[in-house]
Amino acid sequence: MARDPYKYPRERMLEKHIRGRGIEDPRVLDVMAQVPRHLFVRENLRSQAYGDHALPTEQGQTISQPYIVARMTELLDVHSDHSVLEIGTGSGYQTIVLAYLARVVYSLERVPNLARKAIERMRLFKLDNVKIQAFDGTVGWSEWAPYDRILVTAGAPEVPRPLLEQLKPDGRLVIPEGDRDRQELVVYDKTEDGFERHAMEPVMFVPLLGRYGWREET
């Protein structure tokens, strides 16, 4: 059997950057230990794939640092019977993490080329519980709504109203909110009386572009 050159870096990532920074959910830890992050970054950057930092991908996008992926996944609190809507497929790394935890994942990516490449990666992993579409994620995906969980992987000026409307009762949405350069993670829980908003730690994401997000700069 061929030796996996990424085995030690992946284990180190898990212990130092994820478990070592307070992530405790055993299901999240198990998935993060399994998914080969190096397959989601550019070939010339694979030696850096398991460091705790974001890396550039195609067309001005990034793959989030491992801790942030784990933190957002833990905050989302995904269960095996949940349907999840992801806004911002990107490389597909977060998508696959969610797919191992949820019943089904619907993911929207506004850049068609990124959506196409992410679909190819889903096929590589033989995942049949993921649907990806190239579309404006800020308007959601009403065809499959409502969702148990919604995860937004780009920074928004505020949570898009259509996403809140597509959340099930007792559902949860996690999103970075703030300005274009800096945001904070925010958790929205849908209750009988409306929404409870809980602000968490500061983060930095690429801007969420679209009808209910930021306008594309020219």
- What pLDDT is recorded for position 60? 66
Q: Which two tokens stand for residue 91?
A: 């490389």
- What pLDDT is recorded for position 4? 80
Q: Given the DSSP bridges, would you call strands 55-56 and 62-63 parallel, antiparallel or unpaired? A: antiparallel
- Measure the CA–CA gap between 171 and 159, rounded to whole angstroms: 15
64 part of the active site: yes
- What pLDDT is recorded for position 52? 86
- What pLDDT is recorded for position 178? 96
- What pLDDT is recorded for position 213? 94
- What pLDDT is recorded for position 2? 57
- What pLDDT is recorded for position 131? 97
Angle of helix 66-76 relative to helix 93-101, nearest 10 degrees? 40
Which one of 47, 64, 80, 91 is the catalytic residue?
64
> What are the structural domains, with CATH classification, of the chain?
7-203 (3.40.50.150)
Is 214 in contact with 208 (CB distance < 8 Å)? yes
* Beta pairing partners, 187: 174, 198
Mean pLDDT by 10 residues, the chain (218 residues): 78 93 96 92 87 80 90 98 97 96 97 93 92 97 97 97 97 97 96 94 94 85
- What pLDDT is recorded for position 54? 86
- Measure the CA–CA gap between 199 and 187, rounded to whole angstroms: 6
